[in-house]
C-alpha cells in the first residue's frame, strides 16, 4: 500500500469511529444491528466490497437492509460477482475489518489481507461497487458511509442504484457481470416478459377453467410493495391488490410480512374477514422471502399457510412435467430424465411430509446445513437445482450447460415440429430460467412463477395446499453456557458431541409415530435449538420437550 492510499484511509476512517463495546459477526444475513451503531461497519464493508472487486476484477454489490428485522435495525451485506452471497472464505476478514479497534489496526489488516490475496492498489487499478438500500429511514445516511468506504480505495467507484429490493441488487450484479443491461426497468421487463410467455403457453383446455385472477399481497410496509406497484403495471392477466404498502401509515415488519405470517400462522394486519378463501401472498421487508396463505373463516384470524416447502413442491411438479413432455417421443437415443439431473435441496427444518412427497415423485433430495449459502451451493451441483427454506426463501438454478442444450433443442424442435408439445415444454423451461432470479431468492419473481404455474395447472390455493399434509412440529430453545459444546454432522441432523446425546435423542424419537427430532446450536446466541415432528401435535410437543430436557441435562442450563 503506497503512502497516498494510506493517507486516504487514515482520513476516511477517522470520520466513522467504531462504537465502543460493540462486536459484530458476518453471517448469511451479513451484519445486522441497531442502525444507530452501524455507520462504522457499513463504511468498512464499503472498503471490503472495493477490495473484493479488485480481487475478482468484477462488479460487486453492497446492499443496506435488515430484511424482516424491526424498522430501527439495519444491516449490510455483499453480493459476489455471480450475484450470490459473499464467499465464505472472506467472512473472517469481514469480521476482522468490522471489529478493528482503530485506523492503524484497520490499515494493518487491509495490508496483510491484500498481500495474502495478491490484491494490487493504485490509480491503474479499477473497481466498481453497485449500492442499494431498502426503505428504512436510516438507509440514506448508511448509504453515505458505504460510498465513503468504497471511495477510500483508490480507483474504486461506488454506483448508487437507488432504493431496491435485495434481490434486485443481486440480479443487477449478476447481469452486469454477464454484460447485460441492469436498470430497474430491465429487471421489470425481464420478469413481465417471461411471465407473459408462460401465460401464453398455458394449454387451451386449462384456459377454459382458469382460477380466479385476483391476488392480494401483503407488502410488509416495505420496499417490495413499492416495487410490486411498478411491476404490476406491466402484467397482463393478473389482478394484484397490495395491502400494507407503507402508504397507509403501517410500520415496516410490524405484525406484517412473510416472517410474521409464517411463524404466527395468522393473517397480517390490514387483512379483514372479507379475504376468506381468497389467494393471498406475503413478502418480507426486503422482498427476498415469499409465503402464500388463505384465511379460513370470518370469525378467526387463523390461516392455512402455504410455505416455502410447498412453493418448492409446486415448482418441482411443474419442471418435472416439462422434462417429461420433452422426453416424450424423443427421436434421439437419449433418455432425458437420466441425462439431466434435477435435484431438490432442503435443510433439516423442511417438514418431513414435504421430503416424503418429493421422494415419492422419484426425485433426488439432498440436505445441507441451515443457511441459504449452503443450499445455493448444493443446488448449483445439478443441471436444474431447486431449493427453498420453509420461511419462503429459495430459487431455481439452471446450469449453463443445460440452458445451452435447451436453446439448441428448442431451435431443433422449431424447425421440425413448431408448436408441438415438446417445443412448448422447451419454451416454458426457458421462460422459467429468465423469470426466476438465479442470483438469490426473490419474492417478486417467485410470486409471478407461482401465479403462472397455478394457472397452467388450473389449481386453486386450496388444492395446492392439499398436495400433502404437513406433519405437526414444534421448535424449542435451550439456554446453554457455550453453544459450541454441541457439534453436529449430517446436515446438522446428528450430534457428534457431547457423546451419548444423540443416542438418547434417538431413543426418545423412537417412541412416537413418524417421530423425527434434531438439535443444532444457534448461530447468534448461546442457545441450542430443538426441532421435533410427529404424527400429532401433542406427540410433537412431547417429543420436543423431552429432547430439550435431555439437552438441558447434558449441558446444565434450563430450557425456555
Q: How far is CA 297 from CA 98, 267, 276, 278, in A?
A: 49, 11, 6, 11
Is the pLDDT at 205 greater than 90, yes or no?
A: no
pLDDT above 70 covers a percentage of the chain that reads: 96
Distance (Å, whole) CA 281 – CA 498:
42
The pLDDT assigned to 204 comes to 79
Please state which CATH number belongs to domain 213-304. 3.40.120.10
State which CATH number among 3.40.120, 3.10.620, 3.30.300, 3.40.50 fits the domain covering 309-465.
3.40.120
Q: How far is CA 309 from CA 217, 378, 379, 386, 469, in A?
A: 19, 17, 15, 11, 11
**Ligand-binding site membership of 183 (annotated):** no
**Ligand-binding site membership of 520 (annotated):** yes
pLDDT above 90 covers a percentage of the chain that reads: 86
**Ligand-binding site membership of 331 (annotated):** no
The pLDDT assigned to 431 comes to 98
**pLDDT tens for each residue of 139-184:** 999 999 999 999 999 999 999 999 999 999 999 999 999 999 899 9
Residue 398 pairs in a beta bridge with: 384
Q: How far is CA 98 from CA 108, 113, 204, 405, in A?
A: 13, 14, 57, 45
Burial of 460 (0-12, 13-18, 19+ CB in 10 A): middle
Domain limits, CATH 3.30.310.50, in the chain: 473-555
Q: Which of 67, 156, 465, 559 is catalytic?
A: 67
Active-site residue 67, yes or no?
yes
**Ligand-binding site membership of 25 (annotated):** no
* The three cell numbers locating residue 365: 433430495
Compute how many other C-beta atoms are within 10 angstroms of the C-beta atom of residue 254.
Answer: 15
The pLDDT assigned to 337 comes to 43
The arithmetic mean of pLDDT across residues 130-142, rounded, is 98
**pLDDT tens for each residue of 250-299:** 999 999 999 999 999 999 999 999 999 899 999 999 999 999 999 999 98
Which residues fall within 8 angstroms of residue 538, CB to CB, at 6 or more apart? none
Please state which CATH number belongs to domain 3-177. 3.40.120.10
Which residues fall within 8 angstroms of residue 431, CB to CB, at 6 or more apart? 194, 197, 198, 201
**Ligand-binding site membership of 337 (annotated):** no
Is the pLDDT at 524 greater than 90, yes or no?
A: no
Distance (Å, whole) CA 117 – CA 312:
38
The arithmetic mean of pLDDT across residues 414-428, rounded, is 93
| Peptide bond between residue 498 and the one before it cis (omega within 30 degrees of 0) | yes
**Ligand-binding site membership of 389 (annotated):** yes
**Ligand-binding site membership of 417 (annotated):** no
pLDDT band, very low/low/confident/very high, at 324 (cuts 50, 70, 90): very high
Is the pLDDT at 213 greater than 80, yes or no?
A: no
Domain limits, CATH 3.40.120.10, in the chain: 3-177, 213-304
- DSSP secondary structure code for residue 96 in this structure: H
**pLDDT tens for each residue of 6-40:** 999 999 999 999 998 889 999 888 999 999 999 99
**Ligand-binding site membership of 522 (annotated):** yes
Q: How far is CA 12 from CA 90, 107, 149, 153, 265, in A?
A: 22, 11, 8, 10, 47
- DSSP secondary structure code for residue 17 in this structure: P
Q: Is 304 helix (H, G, I), strand (E, B) or coil?
A: strand
268 near 255, Cβ under 8 Å? Answer: yes
Distance (Å, whole) CA 127 – CA 397:
28
Is the pLDDT at 559 greater than 70, yes or no?
A: no
Q: Which residue has the cell 427430532?
A: 517
The pLDDT assigned to 113 comes to 97
What string of DSSP letters covers 224-289? HHHHHHHHGGG-SS-EEEEE--STTSPPTTSS-SHHHHHHH-BPPTT--GGGBT--EEEE-TTS--
Is the pLDDT at 335 greater than 50, yes or no?
A: no
Distance (Å, whole) CA 540 – CA 342:
32
Distance (Å, whole) CA 31 – CA 74:
8
Is the pLDDT at 242 greater than 70, yes or no?
A: yes
pLDDT band, very low/low/confident/very high, at 127 (cuts 50, 70, 90): very high
Strand duo 303-306 + 290-295: pairing:
antiparallel
The pLDDT assigned to 209 comes to 62
Please state which CATH number belongs to domain 473-555. 3.30.310.50
The pLDDT assigned to 362 comes to 93
Stretch (H or E) spanning 394: strand 394-398
**Ligand-binding site membership of 102 (annotated):** no
Q: Which residue has the cell 453497485?
A: 130
Report the candidate in 158, 156, 152, 157 with the shortest Cα–Cα distance to residue 5: 152
Q: How far is CA 30 from CA 26, 62, 63, 130, 416, in A?
A: 5, 10, 9, 16, 50
Measured in degrees and rounded to the nearest 5, phi and psi for residue 395 equal -160, -175
Compute, in degrees rounded to 10, the torsion defined by CA atoms 138, 143, 149, 152. -130
Amino acid at each position: 500500500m503506497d503512502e497516498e492510499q494510506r493517507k486516504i484511509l487514515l482520513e476516511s476512517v477517522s470520520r466513522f469511529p467504531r462504537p465502543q463495546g460493540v462486536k459484530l459477526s458476518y453471517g448469511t444475513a451479513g451484519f445486522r444491528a441497531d442502525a444507530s451503531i452501524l455507520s462504522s461497519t457499513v463504511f468498512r464493508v464499503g472498503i471490503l466490497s472495493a477490495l473484493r472487486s479488485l480481487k475478482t476484477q468484477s462488479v460487486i454489490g453492497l446492499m443496506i437492509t435488515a430484511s424482516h428485522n424491526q424498522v430501527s435495525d439495519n444491516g449490510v451485506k455483499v453480493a459476489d460477482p455471480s450475484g450470490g452471497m459473499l464467499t465464505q472464505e472472506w467472512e473472517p476478514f469481514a469480521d476482522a475489518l468490522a471489529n478493528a479497534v482503530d485506523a492503524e489496526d484497520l490499515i494493518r489488516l487491509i495490508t496483510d489481507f491484500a498481500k495474502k490475496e495478491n490484491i494490487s492498489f493504485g490509480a491503474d487499478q479499477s473497481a466498481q461497487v453497485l449500492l442499494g438500500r431498502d426503505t428504512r429511514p436510516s438507509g440514506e445516511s448508511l448509504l453515505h458511509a458505504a460510498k465513503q468506504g468504497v471511495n477510500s480505495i483508490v480507483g474504486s467507484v461506488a454506483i448508487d442504484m437507488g432504493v431496491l429490493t435485495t434481490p434486485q441488487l443481486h440480479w443487477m450484479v449478476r447481469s452486469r457481470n454477464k454484460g447485460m443491461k441492469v436498470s430497474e426497468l430491465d429487471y421489470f421487463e425481464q420478469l413481465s416478459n417471461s411471465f407473459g410467455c408462460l401465460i401464453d403457453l398455458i394449454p387451451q383446455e386449462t384456459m377454459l377453467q382458469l382460477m380466479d385472477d385476483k391476488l392480494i399481497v401483503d407488502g410488509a410496509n416495505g420496499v417490495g410493495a413499492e416495487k410490486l406497484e411498478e411491476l404490476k403495471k406491466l402484467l397482463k392477466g393478473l389482478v394484484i391488490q397490495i395491502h400494507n404498502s407503507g402508504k397507509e401509515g403501517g410500520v415496516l415488519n410490524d405484525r406484517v410480512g412473510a416472517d410474521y405470517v409464517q411463524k404466527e400462522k395468522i393473517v397480517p394486519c390490514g387483512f379483514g374477514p372479507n379475504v376468506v378463501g381468497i389467494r393471498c401472498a406475503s413478502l418480507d421487508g426486503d422482498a427476498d422471502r415469499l409465503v402464500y396463505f388463505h384465511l379460513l373463516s370470518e370469525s378467526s384470524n387463523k390461516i392455512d399457510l402455504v410455505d416455502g416447502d410447498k412453493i418448492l413442491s409446486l415448482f418441482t411438479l411443474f419442471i418435472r412435467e416439462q422434462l417429461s413432455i420433452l422426453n416424450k417421443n424423443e427421436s434421439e437415443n437419449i433418455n432425458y430424465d437420466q441425462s439431466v439431473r434435477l435435484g431438490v435441496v432442503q435443510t433439516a427444518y423442511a417438514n418431513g411430509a414435504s421430503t416424503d412427497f418429493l421422494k415419492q415423485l422419484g426425485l433426488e433430495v439432498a440436505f445441507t446445513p441451515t443457511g441459504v449459502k449452503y443450499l445455493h451451493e448444493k443446488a448449483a451441483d445439478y443441471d436444474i437445482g431447486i431449493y427453498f427454506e420453509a420461511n419462503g426463501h429459495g430459487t431455481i438454478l439452471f446450469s449453463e450447460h443445460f440452458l445451452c442444450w435447451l436453446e439448441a433443442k428448442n431451435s431443433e424442435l422449431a424447425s421440425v415440429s413448431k408448436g408441438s408439445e415438446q417445443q412448448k415444454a422447451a419454451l416454458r423451461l426457458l421462460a422459467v430460467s429468465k423469470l426466476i432470479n438465479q442470483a438469490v431468492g426473490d419474492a417478486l419473481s417467485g410470486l409471478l412463477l407461482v401465479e403462472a404455474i397455478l394457472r397452467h395447472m388450473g389449481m386453486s390455493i386450496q388444492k395446492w395446499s392439499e398436495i400433502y399434509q404437513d406433519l405437526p412440529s414444534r421448535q424449542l430453545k435451550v439456554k446453554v453456557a457455550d453453544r459450541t459444546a454441541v457439534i453436529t454432522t449430517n446436515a446438522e441432523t446428528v450430534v457428534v458431541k457431547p457423546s451419548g446425546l444423540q443416542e438418547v435423542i434417538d431413543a426418545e424419537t423412537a417412541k412416537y409415530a413418524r417421530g423425527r427430532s434434531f438439535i443444532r446450536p444457534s448461530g447468534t446466541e448461546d442457545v441450542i435449538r430443538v426441532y421435533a415432528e410427529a404424527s400429532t401435535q401433542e406427540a410433537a410437543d412431547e417429543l420436543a420437550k423431552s429432547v430439550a430436557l435431555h439437552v438441558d441435562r447434558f449441558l446444565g442450563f434450563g430450557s425456555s
